[in-house]
Amino acid sequence: MSEIRTAVIGVGYLGKFHAQKYSELKNSKLLAVVDKNFESAQKVATDVGCEACTDYHDLLGKVDAVSIVVPTDLHYEIAADFLQHKAHVLVEKPITTTIEQANQLIELAKSNDRILQVGHLERFNPAILAIEQQISETRFIESHRLAPYNPRGTEVSVILDLMIHDIDIILDIVDSEVKKIDASGTPVLSNDIDIANARIVFRNGCVANVTASRVSNKTDRKMRIFQNDAYLSVDFQNRELATYKKGDGEMYPGVPNIDIQKDTFDKSDALKAEIDHFLYCIETKSTPKITGQDAKRALQTAIQISELLA
């Protein structure tokens, strides 16, 4: 396939990085960036060498693929327009604000034979990629995703802002239907939930205890996965993976030794990897790592938790 004609819709804090990655990738020809704020669009366009626009409608039918990096309540309308005009879509998480909208985007992508990928970026963290071959019969998961307060992203609760990252990963790891959810949380600095905890019980017996906060005094992103034969500890922020498994010999009579392996992964560009994967799926007609169905499942669980805290 020749160069893929691309564009980025929304070039705020995260969108400008999307534009940079598209401008760097060889199989992408970045045609334009779009933002309602023309000065913002012009600045990014000048930096990456493309056109600046204020209305995404000007690009309908003129590009092959887009990243949509706008507030969540605009995801559906913009993604639907581009899918209907035969463009492949990478939309930031959460996929939409409602399950009905998510279903409609999934159907639009299918009926127009387009790729719909959702930006659950943590799936491209090298520490998570490293555990994919080690997951087996997971019994208990504990995750903490803590961050200092930042006004950016507070148009949604901490569940849809931060916790949904871990919900997506956990649902992918466990691969079982959710049986029951208990949750607690409260607003602190915003008008929506700023700190929350959820206990998710799956039909296969696995339990996940998930905590997210955007009012912490430090950043901490960790997940601990307990299996019948191993314990895996993932540090997303520092790209570290510690694996604890039963070894040969005994530390006490009848109690096996524990073999410990610790791996630290080189700093990588997860966003560039995500966009490169998106373009690869377009070229090869492959299924993306995070499909619309995956994102809908994460959204549905996040909505359940949010409703418990309403």
Give the residue extent of every domain in the chain.
4-122+271-290, 126-266
Residues 152-189 have pLDDT tens digits of 767 788 999 999 999 999 999 998 999 999 999 999 99
Q: How far is CA 246 from the centre of its chain?
A: 32
Kindly tell me the number of DSSP H helices and DSSP E strands found in the chain.
9, 14
Residues 281-297 have pLDDT tens digits of 999 999 999 999 999 99
Given this model, what pLDDT does residue 268 score? 87
* Domain 126-266 CATH superfamily: Dihydrodipicolinate Reductase; domain 2 (3.30.360.10)
Average pLDDT of the segment spanning 289-309 = 97
Q: Rounded to whole angstroms, how far apart are CA atoms 109 and 117? A: 10
Instruction: List the CATH code of the domain at 4-122+271-290.
Output: 3.40.50.720
Instruction: Dig out the tokens for 79 from the structure.
Output: 């993604």
Residues 213-243 have pLDDT tens digits of 999 999 999 999 999 889 999 999 999 999 9
Q: How many CB atoms lie within 10 A of CB 257?
A: 13
pTM beyond cutoff 0.95? no
